[in-house]
Structure 1
């Protein structure tokens, strides 16, 4: 650790600077690896120390630069008539740097979270497909109700008992009505998505689902008149074109399943736009775990009568199936638990990674799900269909990049 000793013999130059949230008027010494400076009462002078020197930030206009540099380069205060010492690291780890073992553990923890996120997402998707198509359990509304019941119970356990996040309360009747509206749209998206899996292979289902950004942009414009940059809209062309190509080359294409899947994708996008509109005020914002805690029971209330009316005697049929094959009960329990872990791991990955990392991981997740589903279910895939899906994913990546640039 190299060290400099600087004597401040002249009166300090008063500096107006905001560092963090606290405004203060003091002389600020900003250190860089190449230049240091000392001051006199009237002007800025440079004093060289072994090829290095000290630089003073003199005005409020430079406060932002001082704050940015201070985080990586360090600073100290120069007080009148006081001996001031300054140290720099010479590329050696500081005592305050996290130990390498902790960094390694943090990296392993993040990798574990991403693995759990991928596994739960792909697992619940494949198990839904197996139950609704291959196993012959043709009750998507009841299956969704099982998912929402599990989300209700496990959300309460995670928040109220395990204290994973602080519990947020509903503050008004208006806020409750907004959450009800979100829950209804959420139900439609999940139920329609499960229905589409009865008719479409997972690979094609994921290709259609990748068009979510297109519907999000459309609903954002229609409901908020929010316009994106022309480049952002341009990137949606390959997203839609890819799905058109994939549809034409899909050997297992089913028109009803295709339309239902489009509706599910649109409902998913509508839910995200509505959430931004309805819960936009600071007093109404809920984190995703608390939002699920309130949405899931409301969804069960919506789904219960729909199940009884549209899937008559489903409970009796399920019990009859269980007498012949008890594995159906374990499938439903495991699938419902996975449905909750999709939401939990999504929240944790969002919390522990950057927005850019999340975008990249999200784009890759769909491609991984397609490959895994093809390997498991052996559904036929054409070269045209794969080209269309690849074009769609490429368009989504371009869209994410365009959105990021428009915000910067």
Structure 2
């Protein structure tokens, strides 16, 4: 009975972590849309909003790491490693956030989520390009099915904006490159950053990179807009949601797995599409849904394949460990037998 209760408790906790992550991710997306959309809050400054997020996250990450010492920094992080690894990742992250936030000005929430289904395609393609993934014909067919589904969804989009689509595709490309670069520049060297330490290192770097386009593109407009004033309630709660989302990622991945987050992400996308259609009153056409449904099946199959590969790798690892343990025991027995033989001879 005690075992049954512990299993139930573990399952309930897992669902709780998933629900918290979906809620916060949902909230950040809708909140960003509300702030940046010209028909809603009408503050179309995505670089400035991203810089506010990064400033807030940098400050809280510093408090958690240096003051409250919630997590420890990796001892292997040197100045040289930071410049060669973290700085490029920070540059890619700044571009990804800048372009992804910019899309809320031009595209609906539902269509943005449909375009984000291309993320596995981008990650796999860039992984193959940098030789982190091996080319497999069946996987490429799966990637093509996702791409075709997204293309159909785009064809059926009622308020298609080519500039907004280009921004979202660039955001996907930069984010996918960032994920692959984390594997190449950090994970391959045995350095693993959780969301808090990642923000501690990357957020200030990201903030510096964003300053350059901000000075040229948004600062002159903000300076000339004399009626503008920063609403601390709106931007403070928005930034707090963005930071809480990073902690939720840490909680979800740490207590479950990255694959669970991918599956939860699909659920979140469908909820956002439904919310965008029913509450925000964005137009969602049958062709939209058919195309995204096709892409969704491709993403689901991709996640299933990754799960099977992960299980196979774990099983192989267990077999290898068992073989090593058996070999060690055999050596010990042989050693004992040799020792007894020597004693008998003496």
Task: Report which of the two has the higher share of strand.
Answer: 1
Distance 2:188 2:225 in 1: 44
Aligned pair partner of 2:279 in 369, 376, 379: 376
Is the deviation greater in 163-172 or in 186-195? 163-172
SS in 2 for 1:337: helix
Distance 1:377 1:317, change over 3 A: farther
Query: What are the within-5 Å matches in structure 2 for residues 252-263 of structure 1?
Result: 252-263=159-170
Distance 1:352 1:285 in 2: 16
Distance 2:273 2:297 in 1: 15
Structure 2 alignment gaps of length 5 or more: 313-346
Distance 1:348 1:197 in 2: 27
Distance 1:318 1:402, change over 3 A: farther
Distance 1:314 1:340, change over 3 A: farther
- Corresponding residue for 1:264? 171
Asked if the contact 1:171–1:284 (Cα under 8 Å) also holds between the matched residues in 2, the reply is no
Query: What are the within-5 Å matches in structure 2 for residues 231-380 of structure 1?
Result: 231-313=138-220, 316=223, 320-322=227-229, 328-380=231-283
Distance 2:291 2:209 in 1: 36
Asked if the contact 1:229–1:406 (Cα under 8 Å) also holds between the matched residues in 2, the reply is no
Aligned pair partner of 1:164 in 70, 92, 102: 70
Query: What are the within-5 Å matches in structure 2 for residues 222-237 of structure 1?
Result: 222-224=129-131, 226-237=133-144
Q: What is the TM-score with the length of structure 2 in the denominator? A: 0.82
Distance 1:220 1:405 in 2: 19
Asked if the contact 2:22–2:265 (Cα under 8 Å) also holds between the matched residues in 1, the reply is no
Distance 2:186 2:281 in 1: 43
Task: Report which of the two has the higher share of helix.
Answer: 2
SS in 2 for 1:211: helix
Q: Show CA shifts across 1:135-177 (max 9, x none).
A: 2101010011011111111222233344432233522413333
Greater relative CO (CA pairs within 8 A, separation 6+) = 2
SS in 2 for 1:368: helix
SS in 2 for 1:236: helix
- Corresponding residue for 1:115? 19
Aligned pair partner of 1:201 in 108, 127, 135: 108
Aligned pair partner of 1:144 in 47, 50, 57: 50
Asked if the contact 1:202–1:370 (Cα under 8 Å) also holds between the matched residues in 2, the reply is yes
Pair member with larger Rg: 1
Distance 1:130 1:358 in 2: 25
4+ residue runs over 6 A deviation: none
Cα RMSD (Å) = 2.2
Q: Show CA shifts across 1:232-258 (max 9, x none).
A: 222112210111101110001000001
- Corresponding residue for 2:330? none
Distance 1:340 1:381, change over 3 A: same
Q: Give aligned pairs, total.
A: 308
SS in 1 for 2:271: helix
Q: What is the TM-score with the length of structure 1 in the denominator? A: 0.70
Aligned pair partner of 1:218 in 113, 119, 125: 125
Distance 1:301 1:353 in 2: 34
